[in-house]
Amino acid sequence: MAEPSLAVRRKSRPGSVRKRSRALLQPSAVCSPVACKRPSCGGEGAPTETPCCNDSEEDMFGDYDSFCGNDSLLAQVDDIEHKYLQDKNMHIKAAGDIILGNLQLGIHQKKQDNFSTSENMIDLKADKEDVFHMNENDVVDSYQELTESVLDDLPSSQLLYFEKMDELSSGSRISPVPERRSKCVNSSSDKIRSPSLCPDAEHRSRPADFFSDSKCDLLKAESLKDHLKSAMTGNAKVQTLQVSKTKQLKEAVLSEEICVARKTIESSSVDIGPFYGLPSKVKDLFRQFRGIEMLYEWQHDCLMLECLQQRKNLIYSLPTSGGKTLVAEIIILQELLCRQKDVLMILPYVAIVQEKVWIWGLSSFGIELSFLVEEYAGSKGRFPPIKRKIKKSLYIATIEKAHALVNSLIETERLDDLGLVVVDELHMLGEGSRGVTLEITLAKILYTSKNTQIIGMSATLNNVGDLQKFLQAEYYTNNFRPVELKEYVKIRDTIYAVDSKTENGFTFSRLLNFKYSSNLEKADPDHIIALVTEVIPKYSCLIFCPTKKNCENVASMVCKYLKKEFRAHREEEKQDLIKNLKNIGNGSVCPVLKQTIPFGIAYHHSGLTNDERKSIEEAYSTGVLCLLACTATLAAGVNLPARRVILRAPYVANDFLKKNQYKQMIGRAGRAGIDSAGESILIVQEKDKHLVRDLVNSPLENCYSNLLLELTKGMQSLLLSLVGLKIAVTHEEINNFMCSTLLGVQQQLLSKEKSLSETIKDGLESLIEKGLLKGRVSEKDHNSKCTLTVTPLGKATYKGSIDLAYCNLLYRELKKGLEGLILESNLHLLYLATPYDMTSNCSPDWMIYLRQFNQLSAAEQKVADTVGVPESFITKKASGQAIRKNVDSAVVKRLYLSFVLYTLLKETNIWSVSEKFNMSRGYVQNLLNSAASFASCVLHFCEELEEFWVYKALLTELTKQLTYCVKTELIPLMEVAGVLEARAKQLYNAGYKTLAHLANANPETLVKMIEHLSRCQAKQIVSSAKMLLSEKAEALQEEVEELLKVPTDIPGTY
């Protein structure tokens, strides 16, 4: 039996056929896609020829008899032909049916007849390379040998046919094989859903020279054998209304076999299938949605790696903009479509998750290829995810949501449903608490599932050996960049090229050619204006600044000294952008942006609201804005490349730049397909010259585990979830697990003060003291067999992803709330949902505090007293009096932030609230996002504790309000990826009031009706709405099926 991906071969096949020569098949040696030349009766005479025709009409078996060398069979055929002539009105298909019936009867009688052309056709399917390496003499020899073999079962095409159906009926899935090129043929699910996985195969005309040696005489009388071949061709291609679904599926399989055989012959490469094992429709979609015509050479090499064929884990590293994501997306589609498994894609930030779903249009791929795209970011995501019976899901998640998702799959014993995990920015393993969460997530997958493949990618990796050991992965790297990157540093008015080969690391490049007045020299000592005017407005430019305030100052300074001609560039579109920003702010617009946008300049940092940031990014991507002054977060965030990148200083805030950060920033220089080269210029002061020399010539920073440094979010959180999920419940089992973490790989470097075993012991004892675990850890024997169990509070803590530093405090506050929860308004609930970690950056304005307190109703003022902030305390603070009574400052700050949230939900306008509380609108936006996420965590926490049942419904509604922060009628529109408040209002006012309205909208109509909406954005909105509607419909359908399912354990039944 052949591998699952290959067609079935006959057991009786002669060995000489298997070992035939593999010379390339020349066009002159080919008579049809599935048939070989038959020698003429005279031996070496010239073959007859068949006319070249369209695929849909051609005779797949050529002009050669399917029955050879068997007089008894020919006699039978003559008898049947004689009967056929007696009834001239009989349909050709009926004649075919008689023959097929006769043949099926003969199979049971073990007749020694054979369809040589069927054998040859399946040979093409079973062994691609054989077809391409067969010469003419071998074809003749093979043909003669095959005619001598006996038929001990159905013809090969029929064997394949019924084998596929057996697999379908038993519910089995075809597993992949090392050759991913066969996957297009293998996926039985793909065949059912889309019989035309090789599109246009039946409607594309064949090349004329392909049949040049096989033309036949058109006047030749048509024999019964011709009718038979015609009938078989028709049966393989045509479906009738009277056949069963099973037969339709069989015909689809056979039709696809023929399609792939044709494509194999026509293909110029023998190593891959239609598109890396995927339907060629995928290639068309990449062309349609991304404008990608072909892959880079490194991408092809990476996809053909032996380790990927064998489904081993892989880490690959290339410079920024090298095209890493495309490789990951092709591997993801292979998993979803060919292996029929779910996929998890882990991205570092919420904005990138939304970009992946929205801008890069993965939801559009899902609609076209019948899989679901589910967003897990902020407060979005269901735990555990819905178990889909038909469509598979691509989960796109932030690091924190991915961890919660993996925990839920382990708990429900569904982790094996997850066939692939893709991690972008793998270097984040070494970055604080978020790196710890990523390490824990991957370690759990590696330890609990042997069938889940892990793919990691990054542009900035150094100690790859440690990561390889941790992930048990192969490594691929390449220095490819589609656009050349030229690195420079600027000292005073001189530009130096970075050159590691020289002694001091720099070589002289040029002097700045820009005349500065004395006033301009004072305003712009770093010559930023000279650097930017060399590229804008024709090309785009990014300026990375150390702080948010510096971004705004640089943007203002540049536009003050630019010539008026800069205003004329795309002036009307700039005015539209200002109007759009004004609508977003309900009449308010940032004074700095109002001043800079007419010159094509803006700033970009966390001080912007979500709507503002999205509008500015869109304007920059389309060329309306040509210069952005931004912070380092943009380098690690959304993809906004530029012709030139300027680093205002080698600092991020007050910290000197790290090599990883430097590489990410300069990696934005150069836009593939637009620029011939990209430039980065680092502005350096004399005092930093030696530090910068070390920076540009130093290696990338190593990636180290932070499990020991982040105790409550790291080691203790991991230990709690290991016991709670029953991954490891004894000290010995936990030790074994820890050896599979990155910390376990690096323990000799990191565990210097204490051994890893002692650290684990201390962590377990701490969890037992906090009441999160039950059990005993022996002091004498660290490998005690004593089993640990999780308490209800411990289970609620890890399932709610609550920081262990706050879990007991949260429990006490929720418990206290049960005694007197004030529900006249949602202020009390908002206090409980205000994140603890936001208080460290909060400095209340006491006059504003008192003013907001006095505006509350008597019942709402009682909330402050209930949580521990009396009115007298606020009054004395506002009047500057001394405070004798101690009040918890964290509670005071948290209540102040809950006032901000309360006002925000009432007014739903970030601009007015930020002015009212004298806060930056970016801080208010961040508070809102964090509160929505924390409210979701508190909800999951309460779901695990029966005593908090009352909070479930209340927090569900509050989470939704915080997530969207809009009027209730806009929430259905806000659920669509890429639709924020301003856009939702436009759509609602235009009559698009529900998800169904958007899913069925015409993009062209949307463009006409909605201001500032591009055609691309309209298509993305419709695609996203369709995907969301499809998800909801699938969930309801599967819920109905589950309800109607007959239980197997009904009493009294057998």
Beta strand pairing status for 677-684 and 393-397?
unpaired
pLDDT at 1051: 87
pLDDT at 675: 79
d(CA 940, CA 796) in angstroms, rounded, equals 7
pLDDT at 269: 33
Beta strand pairing status for 541-544 and 627-630?
parallel
pLDDT at 442: 98
pLDDT at 55: 38
Determine the Cα angle at 760 with ends 755 and 761, to 5°: 95
Beta strand pairing status for 773-774 and 789-790?
antiparallel
Residue 236 has pLDDT above 70, yes or no: no
> Mean pLDDT throughout 286-295?
90
d(CA 221, CA 941) in angstroms, rounded, equals 82
Residue 469 has pLDDT above 90, yes or no: yes
Residue 774 has pLDDT above 70, yes or no: yes
Strand (E) positions, 536-643? 541-544, 601-604, 627-630
d(CA 48, CA 46) in angstroms, rounded, equals 7
pLDDT at 603: 96
Residue 4 has pLDDT above 60, yes or no: no
Write the DSSP assignment of 831-884 as a string of letters: HHHS-GGGGGG----HHHHHHHHHTS-HHHHHHHHHHT--HHHHHHHHHT----
Whether residue 286 contacts residue 292, with contact meaning beta carbons closer than 8 Å, is answered with: yes
Weakest-pLDDT range from 138-152, 262-276, 626-640: 138-152
pLDDT at 1011: 84
Six-digit token pair at 612?
A: 């503002």
Weakest-pLDDT range from 99-103, 156-160, 376-380: 99-103
pLDDT at 432: 87
pLDDT at 18: 36
pLDDT at 84: 53
What confidence tens digit (pLDDT) does each residue in 61-120 have?
Answer: 344 344 444 444 445 655 665 655 555 444 444 444 444 444 343 444 433 443 333 343
Distances (CA, A) of 836 to 144, 266, 805, 809, 921: 82, 64, 10, 10, 20
Whether residue 955 contacts residue 938, with contact meaning beta carbons closer than 8 Å, is answered with: yes
- H helix or E strand, kind and range, residue 656: strand 655-656
Which of the four pLDDT bands, split at 50, 70 and 90, describes residue 885?
Answer: confident
The pLDDT > 70 percentage for the chain reads 73
d(CA 917, CA 906) in angstroms, rounded, equals 14
d(CA 607, CA 922) in angstroms, rounded, equals 4
Strand (E) positions, 428-577? 453-458, 473-477, 484-491, 494-498, 506-511, 541-544
d(CA 1004, CA 1014) in angstroms, rounded, equals 9
Whole-number average pLDDT of the chain: 79
Beta strand pairing status for 601-604 and 627-630?
parallel
Weakest-pLDDT range from 120-134, 319-333, 847-861, 922-936: 120-134
Neighbouring CB atoms inside 10 A of 110's CB total: 10
d(CA 590, CA 555) in angstroms, rounded, equals 13
Please tell me whether residue 32 adopts helix, strand or coil conformation.
coil
Single-letter residue type at 852: Q
> Mean pLDDT throughout 935-942?
96
Single-letter residue type at 406: V
More confidently predicted of 240 and 1032: 1032
pLDDT at 853: 95
What confidence tens digit (pLDDT) does each residue in 905-915 have?
Answer: 998 889 999 99
Lay out the sheet containing 393-397: strands in order across. 372-376, 393-397, 342-346, 418-424, 453-458, 313-317, 473-477
Which of the four pLDDT bands, split at 50, 70 and 90, describes residue 786?
Answer: confident
The pLDDT > 90 percentage for the chain reads 50
pLDDT at 776: 81
Lay out the sheet containing 484-491: strands in order across. 506-511, 494-498, 484-491, 677-684, 644-647, 541-544, 627-630, 601-604
- Report the candidate in 703, 693, 666, 673 with the shortest Cα–Cα distance to residue 319: 666
Whether residue 994 contacts residue 970, with contact meaning beta carbons closer than 8 Å, is answered with: no
Residue 926 has pLDDT above 50, yes or no: yes
Six-digit token pair at 585?
A: 């702010």
pLDDT at 515: 83
d(CA 439, CA 475) in angstroms, rounded, equals 18
Which of the four pLDDT bands, split at 50, 70 and 90, describes residue 610?
Answer: confident
Which of the four pLDDT bands, split at 50, 70 and 90, describes residue 714?
Answer: confident
d(CA 976, CA 39) in angstroms, rounded, equals 65
Residue 206 has pLDDT above 90, yes or no: no
Weakest-pLDDT range from 154-163, 638-647, 706-715, 731-740: 154-163
More confidently predicted of 750 and 918: 918
pLDDT at 708: 87
Backbone φ and ψ of 871, nearest 5°? -60, -35
> If you search the block for the tokens 């969207």, which residue do you land on?
964
- Report the candidate in 303, 291, 284, 326 with the shortest Cα–Cα distance to residue 196: 284
Backbone φ and ψ of 712, nearest 5°? -75, -35
Predicted TM-score of the model (pTM): 0.73
Backbone φ and ψ of 997, nearest 5°? -60, -45
Residue 178 has pLDDT above 50, yes or no: no
> If you search the block for the tokens 């449903």, which residue do you land on?
417
What confidence tens digit (pLDDT) does each residue in 572-608 have?
Answer: 999 999 998 998 888 889 999 999 999 999 999 988 9
Backbone φ and ψ of 724, nearest 5°? -60, -40
- Report the candidate in 902, 895, 955, 904 with the shortest Cα–Cα distance to residue 925: 904
> Mean pLDDT throughout 439-458?
96
Counting every residue, how long is the chain? 1054
> Mean pLDDT throughout 669-687?
88
What confidence tens digit (pLDDT) does each residue in 470-514 have?
Answer: 999 999 999 999 999 999 999 999 999 999 888 888 999 999 988
d(CA 85, CA 95) in angstroms, rounded, equals 11
More confidently predicted of 103 and 465: 465
Which of the four pLDDT bands, split at 50, 70 and 90, describes residue 245?
Answer: low
Weakest-pLDDT range from 140-144, 240-244, 436-440, 538-542: 140-144
- Report the candidate in 173, 198, 170, 171 with the shortest Cα–Cα distance to residue 184: 198
d(CA 827, CA 831) in angstroms, rounded, equals 6
